[in-house]
Chains A and B, each alone.
Chain A
Amino acid sequence: GAGVSQSPSNKVTEKGKDVELRCDPISGHTALYWYRQRLGQGLEFLIYFQGNSAPDKSGLPSDRFSAERTGESVSTLTIQRTQQEDSAVYLCASSLDHEAFFGQGTRLTVV
């Protein structure tokens, strides 16, 4: 595709429900990143996939968070038993060489 695509763009969920966020990276990009950005704050690293290597999960804040990636294509970020503190914009980025290209993000609101 032309750019990184994320869906849904907005998600409102009730506390305790599970949510799944999707990221379609730029075709051919081997690296894929997930970040979280709370209102007025910087980007917080969550997880990084590089090709078929084991992902770097060091940024996941708790075991309620998990992510998968199929080969070098789509990735899904799953948050189980959502809490109000999970409310944020979840940004996905992909990269082939140097710079990372970001999607528009999914704005998650937990009520």
Chain B
Amino acid sequence: GENVEQHPSTLSVQEGDSAVIKCTYSDSASNYFPWYKQELGKRPQLIIDIRSNVGEKKDQRIAVTLNKTAKHFSLHITETQPEDSAVYFCAARANYGQNFVFGPGTRLSVLP
């Protein structure tokens, strides 16, 4: 089955700097890769996703890149703000009813 690894487990950046979180997956059949942000005591919220027919996707300060050959995808946050502080989970999913497999999460702290 699918296995998703995520690095780093914790990340501290200064406000205004960029943050990058990387995930690798094992199942070459996976074709959908969402990223979720979970603030303390809250539910996971989708922030961006990418499908396997796309190499990069941007939404304001957030971007995701996908390298299908190497089976890894990354979340990029530019101009970080204190409200970006949260746990970020990547996930991978293949077709035909297979479940989302989540990475172990990255705790991002943006220092003012």
Whether chain B is bound by chain A comes out as no
B residues whose Cβ falls under 8 Å from a Cβ of A: none
Interface residues of A (CB under 8 A from B): none
